[in-house]
Amino acid sequence: MIKTPLRIGIVGTNFVHDWLAEAAASIDCVTVTAVYSRNQETGDAFAQKHHIPNVFCDFEAFLSSDVIDAVYIASPNFAHCAQTVAALNHKKHVLCEKVIAANSRELSQMMDAAKKNGCVLMEAMRPAHDPCFTLVKEQLPKLGKLRRVVLEFCQYSSRYDKFKNGEIMNAFNPDYSNAAVMDIGCYILHVAAFLFGRPKQILSTSVMLHNGFEGAGHVLLDYGDMKAELSYSKITDSVTPSFFMGEDGTLMLDKITLPSDLRIVYHKGSPNYKNAESHEEKIPFTPVDNNMIYELADFAALCQNGTEMHPYLEASVITLEMIDEIRRQNGIVFPSDREADIGF
């Protein structure tokens, strides 16, 4: 059994790793004890910034070290599978940043390695762990028969201006197993999978950029008597909330990745409708600045309990199945797919 706090080693030193280190420093159940960087100077600077005692520039030495119990992986998508399997084979638990793998075949390999080594594998998918989404699930019965869900996450990438000026960075390079559905769409697909499970049918369209990169997409998920419409983009911004529409009311959520406002508007004549002045109910909760604390706490608890299969991973499996189908429908192919003869 892992002793608390869970000792985590970080792979990489970019802004996402900063968020993770800051979140870990604010809770008691985890501590960052090592960082791996290909560059000693970069690793030393990151370690000094976050008071991390150990720096490694050799990946094998990092994984073999006895100063870590688990690894946080936030490298480019194409590297997730190989690095995760290597860590699991060293008996290290793995928290892998979204999207967890390039395709379902890779995720299956990662899950097999986790099972073989008795380790926890979890995707770092913030909405699934934010208490706001527990509230969403609890509030859904108030809406009556759920009929329509609209989930939207569109975020204009800070790197898109450089792309338009001819500089193609990793964030817009499909050779790195990247696409809008992998970077942005995975959040709302995971929310749908976590709340409603596997859809009966998927219909999707994508906006493709000149280099074969998917810049945006729209997905219709068929859940029988309820339909879910999902929109995601790296080349535009969202200005509207997401909606859960039932026969008795509509629940509104302001932002998928870092929610701060949750409210229900009841339809006239529904059980919870009082009058025109008080037909809206604000659902109280306390937002935080960095909701990575919740995924870290859940990950630590899974590692402590030795839980290899869990609902978060089950939702990741469904999410990646949906992403595979969306990519197949829109001809979004990565080098790793060709190497494995996936058949997209």
> What single string gives the DSSP state of each residue in 330-342?
HT---HHHHHHT-
Average confidence score pLDDT of the chain? 94
Q: What is the pLDDT of residue 1?
A: 56
CATH number of 131-282: 3.30.360.10
What does DSSP say about strands 280-282 and 70-73: parallel, antiparallel, or unpaired? unpaired
Give the pLDDT confidence of 7-37 residue by residue, as tens digits. Answer: 999 999 999 999 999 999 999 999 999 999 9
Scored b (16 or more CB within 10 A) or e, 156-188 reads: ebeebeebeeeebeebbbbebbbbbbbbbbbbb
Average pLDDT of the segment spanning 295-312: 92
- pTM here is 0.94
Contact indicator for 264, 244 with CB cutoff of 8 Å: no
Give pLDDT tens digits for 316-339: 999 999 999 999 999 999 988 865
pLDDT-derived band of residue 121, with 50, 70 and 90 as boundaries?
Answer: very high
| pLDDT, tens only, 205-237 | 999 999 999 999 999 999 999 999 999 999 999
Domain boundaries, the chain: 131-282
- Asked if pLDDT for residue 56 goes beyond 90, the answer is yes
pLDDT above 90 coverage of the chain, percent: 91
Query: Which pLDDT band holds residue 269 (cuts at 50, 70, 90)?
Result: confident
Instruction: Work out the pLDDT band at 308, boundaries 50, 70, 90.
Output: confident
Task: Reply yes or no on whether the pLDDT at 277 is more than 80.
Answer: no
Report the alpha-carbon distance of residue 230 to residue 192 in Å, rounded: 9
DSSP 8-state symbol, 145:
S
pLDDT, tens digit, 9 for 90 and up, residues 143-170: 999 999 999 999 999 999 999 999 999 9
Distance CA 102, CA 120 (A): 19
Instruction: Give residue 339's pLDDT.
Output: 59
Summarize the confidence of residues 100-129 as an average pLDDT.
Answer: 97
**pLDDT tens digits, 180-198:** 999 999 999 999 999 999 9
What is the amino acid identity at position 220? Answer: L
